[in-house]
Amino acid sequence: MKVTFYGVRGSIATPGKETVNYGGNTSCVLVEPDDEVVLIFDAGTGIRSLGQLLATDSRDIYLLFSHHHWDHIQGLPFFRPIYQQGRKIRLLSNYLNSGDASSVLDQMTDSHFPVTGAQLQAEIEVLAFNDQGIIVIGDTKVSTLPLNHPGGGSGYKIETADGSLAYITDNELFPPDEMQTPYPEWVNFLQGVDLLIHDAMFLDDELPKVHGWGHSLVTQTLQLALDADVKHLLLFHHDPSRTDAQLDEILANSREWMASHSAEIEVSLAREGESYQPG
C-alpha cells in the first residue's frame, strides 16, 4: 500500500514562496492499496495535478470525502478523469447532514462553473456504507466514524493485508459542544494503526479563538497517537497562515514532545509530493 500527498493545507490554498516546502494546496491524499483500484481522500485543489497523472491510468477511482466544505471539494471540477468517457468513478461519504456524496457536483452549476455536473462523461456512481459504517473495496476494508466537525463528516480507517492507515481530518477531539465521537472511541478505532493522518491545525495558545471550529490542537493529536499506540503520525490540514519556517518549528517541537514521553512513535508533517508505505 502506498500513500501520496497532493494537498495538505486547510481552509484555502496558499501558493507562495513561504509555503513551497510543505505545499499550499488544500486536502487531497492518494492511497493505492493494490494495483487494481485508486482511493482518493478529498478533492481539494491538490486533486488537479493528481488528475493529470491519473488521466492515463485505467484503474477505477474511489473518491472518499471527509465532508463537503469548500476546501475539500473545490478541486473536483478540475479533475481530468471526470471528463473521460467511460471512466469509472465512485463517490463515498458518511455521517453527513447535507446529503449524499453526489452533492459535491452541485458546485458545478451555471452560475459558478461553465461545465455542469450533468455534462460530465465519466461513469460516476454514489456508493453507500453499510449500517456499521463499513465498505469493502476489493481486498481493502474501509471503516468510518463520525467527525467532530460542524455539519458532520467521516473519519476513515483503511485495512489491507500489507498495513493500515487512518485519515482523520477536520476533527475536533475535544469540542465545546456534544461530541459525535468521544475521545475514547477514537483511541479504540485507531489502536495500533501503522499510519495516522490527523488534523493538527492549531496551537495551544490559539484555542480560545478557535474552540468549536472543528479542528484539533497539535498537542491533542500527539496525545491521541500516543494513547492509540500508532506507529507513525502525520500532522495534517496545516493552517493557511503557517509558513514553512513555522511548520518546521511545529515539527521539531512535536518530535521533542513525543521523545519526552518515551514513545517510539515517528512524527512527521504532511508534505505535498511525499509518499509513505504503511506496514
Question: Rounded to whole angstroms, how far apart are CA atoms 89 and 193?
Answer: 27
pLDDT for 204 beyond 80: yes
Tally the C-alpha atoms within 13 A of residue 252's C-alpha that lie toward its C-beta.
6
What are the structural domain ranges in the chain? 2-276
Q: Give the model's confidence band at 99: pLDDT under 50 very low, under 70 low, under 90 confident, else very high.
A: low
Residues 259-263, mean pLDDT to the nearest whole number = 91
pLDDT at position 34, please?
86
Task: Evaluate if residue 140 carries a pLDDT over 60.
Answer: yes
Average pLDDT of span 113-139: 93
Q: How far is CA 171 from CA 57, 90, 220, in A?
A: 32, 24, 11
Q: Which of 83, 69, 68 is nearest to 117 (CA)?
A: 83
Per residue in 22-36, pLDDT tens?
A: 999 999 999 999 888
Residue 97 is predicted with a pLDDT of 64
224-245: average pLDDT: 98
Supply the pLDDT for residue 267. 98
pLDDT band at 50 (very low <50, low <70, confident <90, very high): very high
Rounded to 5 degrees, what are φ and ψ at 3?
-120, 130
Higher pLDDT, 212 or 99: 212
- Average pLDDT on 248-274 reads 96
Which residue type is seen at 238? H
pLDDT of res. 64 = 97
Tell me what pLDDT residue 98 has: 55
pLDDT, position 7: 98
CA separation, residue 277 to residues 162, 163, 164, 251 (Å): 9, 8, 10, 20
- Looking at residue 118, its pLDDT comes to 82
pTM as predicted: 0.97
The architecture of the domain spanning 2-276 is 4-Layer Sandwich (3.60)
Residue 235 has pLDDT above 60, yes or no: yes
Q: What span, in angstroms and rounded, lies between the C-alpha atoms of 230 and 187?
A: 10
* 46, three cell numbers: 491538490
Mean pLDDT of the chain: 95
pLDDT for 36:
86
pLDDT for residue 120 is more than 70: yes
What dihedral do alpha carbons 81, 42, 73, 239 form, nearest 10°?
-140
Give the pLDDT band of residue 70 (cuts 50, 70, 90).
very high
